[in-house]
């Protein structure tokens, strides 16, 4: 292995993580032939097959899995060294890898902006994905920190709540129930519901709420994004339960209304997570400290007046 280069190891790590030459080439901004050539040279150096192809799928060999674990140790060690030396110089610098659930896109950029202004030497990589893929990344320890709304069960992770995430019932502006107070959950359950895909944290919380009330839902349609659901609600296709954060930029929208339903908003939080026992980098610890101090003031500005999030006078 003494003749292998860091460049080759990085290419191997990306291919092994994606199990795809095409996706690896896209992530690395290289051509696919270049990726293949570098992997061939690394395989020759090791003297054992690192990857094997069965049909159209690529799998890691035993040697490949051992090398992938070594790559993680090498790259983590280099990153920690870079951040340690930067800290010794009084400069916060390094890379921060964050994976976040798709709904968090409504507020995460508003946190990362001030963080980057305070620490311009830190390079931030943000991966926004669905809950299933985020849990897969968390299980594989692919990132430094993870932002999610519904904590998974039976996973060895450390969790810290940092921001309220109330779930509200959204309907078209001229819905017959608009303006009514304390609408029974049983009445709402009769309405056609628009839902996220199975496995979505919002969907899981919604189904749990109605199941606890011994009510079944009338699901009319499944959609793959919050934006699609809002458009479908505005179009009169049904009602939906969404995070209040999804309305933060639309508080004066003429096409949508939040229904006053008994038991809503469902009180939830956003969490920052990482695998239990993971040694966090100095940059990750710096971001955690920033998150603890910056999230609440940001929420008070960003969410003020939204349903389920009290305004300043209500807090007093």
Contacts of 75 by beta carbon, 8 Å cutoff, 6+ apart:
9, 10, 13
Segments in 196-281 forming alpha helices (H): 201-212, 226-234
CA dihedral of residues 268, 128, 225, 148 (deg, nearest 10): -20
**Over the Cα atoms of the chain, what is R_g?**
23
Contact 141, 114 (CB under 8 A): no
189 and 243 both lie in a single domain: yes
Q: What is the CATH number of the domain that holds 51?
A: 1.10.10.10
pTM: 0.64
How buried is 81 (Cβ within 10 angstroms: 0-12 exposed, 13-18 middle, 19+ buried)?
Answer: exposed
* Closest by CA position to 138, among listed 11, 273, 2: 273
105 and 177 both lie in a single domain: no
Q: Considering the domain boundaries, does residue 202 fall inside one?
A: yes
Q: Considering the domain boundaries, does residue 158 fall inside one?
A: yes
* pLDDT tens for the chain, residues 1 to 316: 667 899 999 999 999 988 999 989 988 889 999 999 999 999 999 999 999 988 888 999 999 999 998 998 888 788 777 767 766 666 567 788 999 998 888 788 888 888 988 888 888 999 999 888 899 899 888 899 999 988 887 788 999 998 888 899 999 999 999 989 999 999 999 999 999 888 888 899 999 999 999 999 999 999 988 889 999 999 999 999 998 888 765 544 578 899 999 999 888 888 999 998 888 888 888 899 999 888 777 666 655 655 445 554 444 4
15 and 141 both lie in a single domain: no
| Structural domain range at position 34 | 6-69
Name the domain count of the chain.
3
Q: Considering the domain boundaries, does residue 86 fall inside one?
A: no
Q: What is the CATH number of the domain that holds 207?
A: 3.40.190.10
> Which is it for strands 192-195 and 218-222: parallel, antiparallel or unpaired?
parallel
> What whole-number distance in Å separates Cα of residue 196 and Cα of residue 299?
25
Contact 21, 12 (CB under 8 A): no
155 and 276 both lie in a single domain: yes
Q: Considering the domain boundaries, does residue 88 fall inside one?
A: no
């Amino acid at each position: 292995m003494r003749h292998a280069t860091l460049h080759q190891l990085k290419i191997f790590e990306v291919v092994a993580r994606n199990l795809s030459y095409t996706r690896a080439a896209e992530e690395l901004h290289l051509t696919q032939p270049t990726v293949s050539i570098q992997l061939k040279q690394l395989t020759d150096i090791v003297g054992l097959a690192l990857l094997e192809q069965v049909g159209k799928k690529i799998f890691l060999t035993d040697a490949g899995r051992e090398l992938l674990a070594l790559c993680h140790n090498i790259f983590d060690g280099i990153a920690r060294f870079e951040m340690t030396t930067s800290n010794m110089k009084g400069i916060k610098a390094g890379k921060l890898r964050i994976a976040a659930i798709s709904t968090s896109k409504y507020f995460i950029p508003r946190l990362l902006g001030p963080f980057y202004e305070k620490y311009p030497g830190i390079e931030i990589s943000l991966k926004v994905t669905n809950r299933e893929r985020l849990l897969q990344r968390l299980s594989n320890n692919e990132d430094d920190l993870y932002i999610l709304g519904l904590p998974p069960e039976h996973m060895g992770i450390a969790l810290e709540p940092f921001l309220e995430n109330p779930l509200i019932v959204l309907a078209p502006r001229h819905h017959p129930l608009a303006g009514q107070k304390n609408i029974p959950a049983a009445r709402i359950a009769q309405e056609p519901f628009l839902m996220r895909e199975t496995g979505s944290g919002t969907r899981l919380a919604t189904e749990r709420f109605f199941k606890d009330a011994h009510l079944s839902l009338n699901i009319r349609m499944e959609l793959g994004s919050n934006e699609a659901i809002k458009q479908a609600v505005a179009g009169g296709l049904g009602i939906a339960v969404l995070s209040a954060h999804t309305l933060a930029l639309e508080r004066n929208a003429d096409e949508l209304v939040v229904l006053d339903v008994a038991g809503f908003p469902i009180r939830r939080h956003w969490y920052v997570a990482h695998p239990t026992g993971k040694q966090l980098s100095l940059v990750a610890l710096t971001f955690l400290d920033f998150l603890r101090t910056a999230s609440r003031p940001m929420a008070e500005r960003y969410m003020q007046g939204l349903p389920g999030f009290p305004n300043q006078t209500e807090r007093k």
